Structure 1
Amino acid sequence: MNKLKWGVLSTANIGLEKVLPAIQKSENGVVYAIASRNDRTARDAASHLSIPVSYSSYQDLLDDPEVEAIYNPLPNHLHIEWTIKAMEAGKHVLCEKPLALKREDLLRLMKLRDRTGLTVSEAFMVRYHPQWLTARETVQEGHIGKLKNVQGFFSYFNDDKNNIRNIKEAGGGGIWDIGCYPVTTSRLIFDEEPLRVASILEYDPETGIDRMGTVMMEFPSGQASFSCSTQLVPYQKMHIFGTKGHLEVEIPFNAPPDKACRVFTSQGELYSKDYTPMDFPVCDQYTLQAESFVRTVRGEQVNHVPLEDALKNLKVLEAIFKAGKSGMWEDVE
């Protein structure tokens, strides 16, 4: 098999620790080159991960004709700029979420995709994990009755003012970083778009980023709610409620690549231990994401999440911020 050659923009931790090792395990891709603005940093990362080529310039990597696709884990505010530059260089792009912080930027990117025919995708790795695909299938097959409610929680603690996630101008904050996950998974499970949202957002007085938020979303078929925080004890869980049953996704977002995952099902016996686990074999959701991306590039029909979905998710996030300011329900336009 002719493996797709990936190039990586930056030595961001998520790339070095999670995504690049996952790509290297994939069946159809290889990490060919990595770039950093610091030559020593690029060479060290390449040596550590056995990457053949390193560059001290992002543009030099984009100009390499051997590179077929780009993985972009740059800070949020640089996603659009360097994704567009990569596409102008003729590269397919898998970009970390959020792909865009403004709707007009994402619309501009979609026009470029349509003109070039390149594959561009927002890196929501959870959309490729079997536990979420099975949870969605379980709901659609009616095993929990009629889906009516989804509830979630996602938190970690990071109050380092110099951390990129806490820099407002770089697109930091809880909703952009982790609130987007219960939004995209709620949309996935309902298989429809929310009509309106309400939110309460608490902002850090020093950094200005949203450090805690609680969100409600009204869907045509039901309701979803979640809380997220960047300054609480680490925790995550998603609950899916129907008229006859309940699903609990044990580790919904940071599914471990070396341990089996579980989704619990219940038929609502309140005082009995009627939880039945659905066990999923060990897998790496980042590997599955990369393999799906490559198959899409190669023209195969796979579970590819297109830019249209990124736009729908962004519209919800925009409404959440608007509702947090207005203190009222806001329509998802």
Structure 2
Amino acid sequence: MINWGFLGAGSIARTSLAPAVHRHEAAALYAVAAHSPDRAAALGPEIISQNYARVVEDPRVDVVYICLHNSAHLEWTLRALEAGKHVLCEKPLGLTAEETHEMTQAAARYGRLLVEAVWNRWHPRTRAIERFLDTGLIGEVREVIAEFHGAVPAEDNYRWNTALGGGALLDIGCYAVSAALGAYSWQPPRSIHAVLSTNRPGQADARADTVLTFHDGAARISAAFARQERQRLEIRGTEGWIRASEAAFTAGVRPVDLRVNSSGVTENHTYPAIDPYQLMVAEISSAAAGNPAHLVPLEQSLAVAVTLEAIRQSATAQALPPEQRRSTSDASPYTSKGS
């Protein structure tokens, strides 16, 4: 049995991760630490605490799930890895490429799993898209359109707080950026042009519009907190296209479709309702037990982090007077091709 310990008892932990752990026959929700004991108790653990360190240092905890605001990810990921725990950390892993790189180095140093909780990557439709791209079903990719306009957070939500790692780019833009990089085989973009906009001064970005240019194509990305929610992913290649227009990045407990055109023939693929969080928990529990498992490679999480940071840098440069601008490229030493 793999014992899980949670740091944080927010909405994702309550509605998604805790139920997924409870449903898995080889996992147990052993401990939860949260500022509110009542919220921790609502998740149904054996041990309740207000002390994060108690969970991290408990020898009976095998996997630590970090569900804290983004600015706390680095500290508690490093502390959990140093304590010998495997770690599942909410996205984004770090606020910067440097933070994410530091986490990946720590995972290697302590010989423990570190996995970013980008739960949609375990959904059968997402994995099918990856297979179609790997087999060259639509030829060479030339264009990607990735849009994720999600719900507007409440006024007091940390997503509006830059210091806590808020903003549309980090919160939902990471999904679209990941899809674009994956379509181009995880090669770094050659150039980036981005604009970030806010609803009011001092708030984190409410919208991010980006064009990533690759050697043989481009990706147009839009992420926003918007009243009219929509998700779209379209990948166009020399021999066809792939389209996911319904819950493109958040497919979950309802059936979803995927339209694929190859050499002039269009097929519609339907995927039944499934819980990707449960799939993620099952795979990580398997890996923690030393068994084969499907995990999102850290190299890919790092590539996303590098690109997100480059997008922010590009947006900052665009806001400067023309004489102070400089181009944004793939110069970061941390970018590497994922498996």
| Kept after mapping to 1: 8 A contact 2:191/2:212 | yes
When residues 304 and 144 of structure 1 are mapped into structure 2, their CA distance, relative to the original with a 3 A threshold, is: same
Match of 1:68 in 2: 62
Structure 2 CA distance for partners of 1:59 and 1:197, relative to 1, 3 Å: same
Structure 1's 261 and 59: CA in aligned 2 closer, same or farther, altered over 3 A? same
- The answer as to 2:272 corresponding to 1:276 is no
| Partners of 2:150 and 2:172 within 8 A in 1 | no
In the other structure, the counterpart of 1:136 is: 130
Give the match for residue 227 of structure 1: 222
Corresponding residue of 2:92: 98
Which residue is 2:310 aligned to?
319
Q: What is the rounded CA distance, in whole Å, between the counterparts of 1:307 and 1:143 in structure 2?
A: 26
CA change 1:231–1:251 in 2 (3 A) is closer
Q: How does 1:154-165 map to 2 (within 5 A)?
A: 154-158=148-152, 160-165=154-159
The AA in structure 2 aligned to 1:186 is A
Could you list the runs of 4 or more consecutive aligned residues of structure 1 that deviate by over 4 angstroms after TM superposition? Answer: none
**SS, match of residue 224 in structure 1:** strand
How far did 1:216 drift? 0.8
* Unaligned stretches of 5+ residues in structure 2: 319-325, 333-339
User: How far, CA to CA, are the matches of 1:41 and 1:290 in structure 2?
Assistant: 21
| Distance in 1 between residues matched to 2:5 and 2:169, nearest whole Å | 28
2:244 is equivalent to residue 253 of structure 1: no
Distance in 2, Cα, partners of 1:136 & 1:62: 34
How has the CA–CA distance of structure 1 residues 206 and 158 changed in structure 2, closer, same or farther, with 3 Å as cutoff? farther
Q: CA, structure 1 residues 304+267, in 2 after alignment: closer, same or farther (shift >3 Å)?
A: closer
**Residue identity opposite 1:324 in structure 2:** A
Deviations 1:101-132 (A, max 9, x none): 12332232223222211111111112221111
Q: Which stretch of the first structure deviates more once superposed, 313-322 or 303-312?
A: 303-312
What does the per-residue CA deviation read over 1:123-144, in whole Å, with 9 as the maximum and x for residues that have no partner?
1112221111111212232322
Equivalent pair of 2:90/2:116 in contact (CA under 8 Å): yes
CA distance change for structure 1 residues 276 and 173 in 2, over 3 Å: closer, same or farther?
A: same
Aligned-residue offset at 1:268: 8.7
Partner Cα distance (2:310, 2:4) in 1: 35
Mapped to 2, the partners of 1:37 and 1:62 lie a distance apart of: 15
SS at match of 1:94: strand
1:17 paired to 2:15: yes
Evaluate the alpha carbon distance shift between residue 5 and residue 137 of structure 1 in structure 2; reply closer, same or farther with a 3 A threshold: same
Q: Distance in 2 between matches of 1:191 and 1:216?
A: 17
Alpha carbons of structure 1 residues 112 and 140: separation in structure 2 relative to 1, 3 Å: closer
Q: Matched residue pairs, number?
A: 322
**What aligned pairs does 1:1-333 form with structure 2 within 5 A after superposition?**
3-43=1-41, 45-46=42-43, 50-158=44-152, 160-193=154-187, 194-249=189-244, 250-257=246-253, 259-266=254-261, 276-327=267-318, 329-332=327-330, 333=332
Shift of 1:330: 1.1
Separation of aligned partners in 2, 1:132 and 1:178: 16
Q: Secondary structure of 1:233's partner?
A: coil
Distance 1:78 1:212 in 2: 23
> Is the deviation greater in 315-324 or in 50-59?
50-59
Q: 2:65 aligns to what SS in structure 1? A: strand
Percent identity, aligned pairs only, is 28
SS at match of 2:100: helix
Distance 2:163 2:88 in 1: 23
| Deviation by residue 1:204-261 (Cα, 9 ceiling, x = unmatched) | 324421111211112233211111111341111101111232211132211122x222
Q: Where does structure 1 lack aligned partners over 5 or more consecutive residues?
A: none
Tell me, in whole angstroms, the C-alpha distance in 2 between the residues paired with 1:139 and 1:105.
30
Secondary structure in structure 1 of the residue aligned to 2:84: coil
Q: Measure the CA separation in 1 of the matches of 2:130 and 2:108.
A: 29
Which stretch shows the higher mean deviation, 167-176 or 276-285? 276-285
The offset of 1:275, in angstroms, is 5.2
**Taking structure 2 as the reference length, what is the TM-score of the superposition?**
0.89
Q: Which moved more, 1:321-330 or 1:235-244?
A: 321-330
Q: Distance in 2 between matches of 1:169 and 1:291?
A: 33
Look up the equivalent residue of 2:17 and give its one-letter code: V
Structure 1 stretch 21-30 or stretch 60-69: which is displaced more?
21-30
